[in-house]
Structure 1
């Protein structure tokens, strides 16, 4: 039996639809929150939930209802007064707004522990990302199997990217070689790069670079943990 969320959308909370919202530029902070909404919606879909209120979706996403309704206005509000949001429709619409309906082919450069873990991660495919290649420069690693992939020689980086139709690259590399490889990736025509390298990479304006620095994130956690342990400190 399919489940439905019992809390329905109050009429005072419904946000009017906006015909021009699909063409609006979504602020970076809202884009980040959209991924949270999509994850929550997909969880609801897996549970058989058909409709959800803004309060329930906001709570599942860890944001306020007002923030959620404002964010959804960027992609067009599809809430119905007294009924709520249709989960499947809203999920598809957010996915389209985030570009997840495109064919994204990902190559991972660096077959160390991190690179291999990323290549084996099953969550990419379910979110629309197809890992098509993993590369490394170490002769002891080249040719080894990682999941269903075989490690390619990084010396053939440009050929591998072209052959596989890669349009996104993940850099799981040491700092010393990251910039040189990043330059090669850009020269090969890649415009979307995710870097785990512990160094600030320089890229031209037309390239989208996202940096994941786990040490920095741990330092931020340490700061908040310290404040939480200090009497009288506001969180």
Structure 2
């Protein structure tokens, strides 16, 4: 672990390491014990040279001509990413998106557990989502302190996201994933990952436009039921 921490890993590389971990987890669950660099790179959507460069930050990993041991590489990636043990998280904002995230079982298999779900709407308080009861947002500081939470997910409306962020930071949260459509201002030492689905869709629209894809005029299109073969 000290070897990995002694080297500064670029943020883009960290993101790819997380993808490799996801692929390796799926391989391990399917019973695979080894994987070649070509297979792992293809499954992760990168080229083999880029994969080897990324994994070099962990030190020697594979064996030439043999590949990588799925189990051991998975463990090394988990340690490097800090997810070898379960991380307690809170989620603030139990609207449609927040509820969907809280109910997604995949976070648990990747080392993240929502120990607190909070919302300002009294009608949502008491609901159970993903096995966790929704609590009033007034209890935010209490929940963070009780579980030693350092990671939070914000899915509130834009108008209250900054005030929620300020309370989280004051309570001791150091890492925030923000789904609210607003840029959060945080002090040094606090990391924010902005996830804006509308921006991602706009990027894809631009890329699609660049490909010169012909868009069928709306008035000429057939009903969706006629275009899609349902099983």
Tell me which interval the TM-score lies in, with the shorter structure as reference length: 0.7 to 0.9
- Is the Cα–Cα contact under 8 Å of residues 115 and 172 in structure 1 kept in the other structure? yes
**After TM superposition, which residue ranges in structure 1, 4 or more long, deviate above 6 angstroms?**
none
Displacement of 1:230: 5.4
Displacement of 1:20: 4.8
1:119 maps to which of 102, 114, 130: 102
Partner of 2:72: 89
1:169 maps to which of 146, 152, 173: 152
Partner of 2:35: 52
Partner of 2:50: 67
Partners of 1:159 and 1:191 in 2: how far apart?
Answer: 16
Displacement of 1:38: 1.0
Post-superposition CA distance 1:8-63 (Å, at most 9, x none):
xxxxxxxxxxx955621111111111111111111221222211111111111110
Displacement of 1:167: 2.0
- Is the Cα–Cα contact under 8 Å of residues 105 and 130 in structure 1 kept in the other structure? yes
Partner of 2:129: 146
Instruction: Find the residue that maps to 1:180 and give its secondary structure.
Output: helix
- Distance change (3 Å), C-alpha of 1:83 and 1:197: same
Partner of 2:84: 101
- Is the Cα–Cα contact under 8 Å of residues 21 and 73 in structure 1 kept in the other structure? no
- Is the Cα–Cα contact under 8 Å of residues 170 and 194 in structure 1 kept in the other structure? yes
TM-score (norm 2): 0.88
Please, which runs of 5 or more residues in structure 1 have no aligned partner?
A: 1-18
Partners of 1:36 and 1:156 in 2: how far apart?
Answer: 34
Partner of 1:189: 172
Q: Return the structure number with greater relative CO, CA threshold 8 A, min gap 6.
A: 1
Partners of 1:213 and 1:21 in 2: how far apart?
Answer: 31
Partner of 1:28: 11
Please, which runs of 5 or more residues in structure 2 have no aligned partner?
A: 215-231
- Is the Cα–Cα contact under 8 Å of residues 28 and 70 in structure 2 kept in the other structure? yes
Root mean square deviation, CA, Å: 1.6
Partners of 2:3 and 2:152 in 1: how far apart?
Answer: 32
Partners of 1:146 and 1:77 in 2: how far apart?
Answer: 42
- Distance change (3 Å), C-alpha of 1:45 and 1:214: same
Q: Tell me the matched-pair count.
A: 213
Displacement of 1:163: 2.0
Partners of 1:169 and 1:21 in 2: how far apart?
Answer: 25
Partner of 1:136: 119
Post-superposition CA distance 1:89-125 (Å, at most 9, x none):
1111011101111431011001111111111100000
TM-score (norm 1): 0.86
